[in-house]
Amino acid sequence: MQHTNRFDLDLQFGKKYENALQKAVEGTNECKCDRIWHRTGNVYIEIESRGKPSGINVTEAKYWSFCLHSKDRGEDDQIWLLIPTHLLKQFIKDYPIKKGGDNWTSKGHVVPAKDLIDYQIQQLKFHLNEKTIKSENQIT
């Protein structure tokens, strides 16, 4: 949507996404809080525990949330990322799987937190490249 100088249209657009966020937060949401991401730069997305599928591989949640916890911030000042689960499942496929969790009995994808934060930009680049390839194929 293009920027307008019409407050009523901008307000309508903003309200639409306020409502979408409210639905996401109130809906089915798997929340993970990572206490060491600030040291490693990564978040861990579990896929298996003790030899059985777990985490993102079994969740029924529509959204997956990450709390990028910092002990230097108060409880109400933590930073959260909210990603539709089906998109996150696709996104993590290219990241390495490592052992982790309690007693190293889990397996999961190790994903740089920065990549999650930049996810929207990466998706945009992917879709633009995909459209360019389709256009070039139609021309030839």
pLDDT in tens, 14-50: 777 677 777 777 778 888 988 888 899 999 999 999 9
User: How many residues would you count in the chain?
Assistant: 140
Question: CB–CB of 65/98 below 8 Å?
Answer: no
Tokens of 1: 């949507």
Residue position matching structure tokens 């003790």: 50
pTM over the 0.75 mark: no
Q: Give the residue ranges of the chain where pLDDT is below 70.
A: 1-5, 7, 17, 120-140
Helix (H, G, I), strand (E, B), or coil: what is residue 60?
coil
Residue 4, pLDDT score: 59
- For 65-83, b/e burial (b = at least 16 CB within 10 A) is bbbbbeeeeeeeeeeebeb
